[in-house]
């Protein structure tokens, strides 16, 4: 141990018979003045300030320059118009005023004096927490971001009857809440007063089915939206529309067309609900295929396709075919072709099928014949008129007529040919409700 300085702070000692003892004494006092209650202005500065004040203290930052060069990590004090540098010893503490932080020297560098605890009973950031709100934040915004990939915010509850939700308030009064509110089904609720909450939406966790608690009000669109996928629903003027099967369907298009859905086992006429006269008849022909459109005005489940033979012919056969409608309303893909129906006797002929038809979705019904047996037809006024041709026609066209070899299956995909539009009456086909 040196006889001329203290072992811890290196304060100079007054020696026996020393002259000018006040010099040594004053230097010790100045060192004590620097080190006792050590508080530095900052720890990041690498060059001395241009106009330091007497008594200013800093921890010299990295890559120091000028008069501070080579003094990194030391305490620099402006004393008597010069910079004095003090080597810190392990255990020294310094308050960094610029950061409101206390540092301690561990023998190699300055570290935070107090490690942050991993758990806190409560924490408030710019506001006070309480027993219920143990984490409280007052801020214009709160940011949670990823650390390289994704980020999840987890709200966990103990039992299904508890609540894990986000509550939105105005003046501390709830206005909207969504999450798992007293059950495991996701829900959204709103309130006008923070007391009575009205349900808006519930999602069943078992089925994924969403249920709306109130009728949906669609804002009217100025024009029909374009490029929508199947399932899109919109309101345009006085019209409600949906996009299904690549085509736009007017949901209220059947509003002026009366339709009575019969009970199981009874027949449905595949007409437009008009006609009001006796059915006609038409002789078949070998390889003939006639199609006409039908628009179901209710959801139908069909178990029989029925035609009526008025003049029989030995060996004569028929088949009923059904095609979907493509985006322009024309026949598209073959939906089904029935088994052979025997026309060697007169009367009703029924083919067994399992068929579901959706309200407002057009299908094309058709009849194939192998020979010239005569079958019932719908009155001309009972089936839709078919558009087409480049010049006016004086007789409305009712069917698409094509010759297709009886021995071959019906075409799997209908190819449109306007020359096939015919004014012949549509074959009468009944559907039996399952």
Residue 1: its pLDDT value, please?
44
For 407: left if phi > 0, alpha if psi spans -120 to 50, otherwise beta; the answer is alpha
The domain defined by 267-433 carries CATH number 2.60.120:
yes
Residue 12: its pLDDT value, please?
64
What are the backbone dihedrals phi and psi of residue 235, each rounded to the nearest 5 degrees, phi first?
-115, 125
Burial of residue 168 (CB within 10 Å: 0-12, 13-18, 19+) is exposed
Cβ proximity of 14 and 21 under 8 Å: yes
Q: Point out the residues of the chain with pLDDT beneath 50.
A: 1, 254-256
Residue 26: its pLDDT value, please?
62
Cβ proximity of 71 and 64 under 8 Å: yes
Burial of residue 210 (CB within 10 Å: 0-12, 13-18, 19+) is exposed
Cβ proximity of 331 and 294 under 8 Å: no
Tens of pLDDT along 132-160? 999 999 999 999 999 999 999 999 999 99
- pTM of the entire structure? 0.50
For 389: left if phi > 0, alpha if psi spans -120 to 50, otherwise beta; the answer is left
CA–CA separation, 10 and 24 (whole Å): 12
Q: How many helices (H) and strands (E) does the chain have?
A: 1, 30
Sequence ranges of the domains in the chain: 37-112, 267-433
Tens of pLDDT along 78-101? 988 999 998 898 998 999 999 999
Residue 7: its pLDDT value, please?
60
Residue 36: its pLDDT value, please?
76
Residue 254: its pLDDT value, please?
47
Residue 6: its pLDDT value, please?
58
List CB contacts of 27: < 8 A, sequence separation 6 or more: 11, 12
Residue 369: its pLDDT value, please?
97
Cβ proximity of 135 and 126 under 8 Å: no
């Amino acid at each position: 141990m040196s006889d001329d300085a203290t072992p811890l702070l290196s304060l100079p000692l007054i020696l026996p018979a020393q002259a000018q003892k006040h010099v040594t004494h004053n230097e010790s006092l100045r060192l004590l003045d620097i080190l006792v209650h050590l508080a530095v202005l900052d720890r990041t500065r690498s060059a001395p300030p241009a106009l330091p004040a007497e008594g200013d203290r800093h921890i010299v930052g990295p890559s120091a320059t000028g008069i501070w060069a080579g003094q990194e990590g030391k305490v620099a004090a402006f004393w008597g118009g010069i910079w004095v540098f003090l080597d810190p010893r392990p255990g020294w503490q310094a308050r960094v005023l610029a950061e409101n932080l206390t540092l301690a020297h561990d023998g190699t560098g300055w570290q935070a004096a107090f490690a942050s605890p991993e758990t806190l009973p409560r924490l408030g950031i710019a506001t006070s927490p309480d027993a219920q709100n143990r984490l409280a934040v007052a801020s214009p915004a709160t940011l949670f971001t990823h650390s390289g990939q994704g980020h999840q915010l987890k709200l966990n509850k103990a039992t299904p009857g508890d609540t894990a939700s986000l509550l939105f308030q105005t003046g501390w009064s709830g206005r909207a809440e969504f999450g798992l509110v007293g059950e495991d089904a996701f829900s959204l609720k709103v309130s006008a007063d923070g007391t009575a909450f009205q349900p808006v939406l519930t999602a069943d966790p078992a089925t994924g089915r969403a249920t709306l608690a109130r009728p949906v009000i669609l804002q009217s669109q100025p024009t029909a939206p374009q490029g929508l996928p199947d399932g899109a629903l919109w309101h345009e003027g006085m019209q409600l529309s949906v996009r299904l099967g690549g085509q736009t369907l007017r949901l209220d298009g059947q509003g002026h067309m009366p339709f009575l859905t019969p009970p199981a086992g009874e027949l449905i006429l595949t007409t437009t609900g008009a006609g009001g006269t006796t059915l006609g008849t038409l002789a078949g022909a070998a390889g003939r295929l006639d199609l006409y459109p039908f628009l179901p005005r209710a959801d139908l489940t069909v178990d029989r396709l029925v035609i009526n033979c008025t003049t029989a012919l030995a060996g004569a056969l028929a088949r009923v075919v059904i095609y979907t409608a493509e985006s322009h309303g024309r026949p598209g893909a073959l939906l089904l072709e029935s088994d052979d129906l025997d026309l060697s006797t007169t009367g009703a002929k029924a083919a067994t099928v399992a068929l579901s038809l959706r309200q407002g979705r057009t299908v094309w019904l058709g009849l194939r014949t192998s020979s010239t047996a005569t079958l019932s037809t719908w009155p001309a006024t009972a089936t839709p008129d078919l558009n087409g041709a480049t010049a006016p026609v004086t007789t409305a066209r009712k069917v698409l007529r094509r010759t297709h070899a009886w021995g071959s299956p019906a075409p799997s995909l209908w190819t449109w040919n306007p020359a096939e539009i015919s004014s012949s009456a549509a074959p009468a086909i009944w559907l039996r409700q399952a």
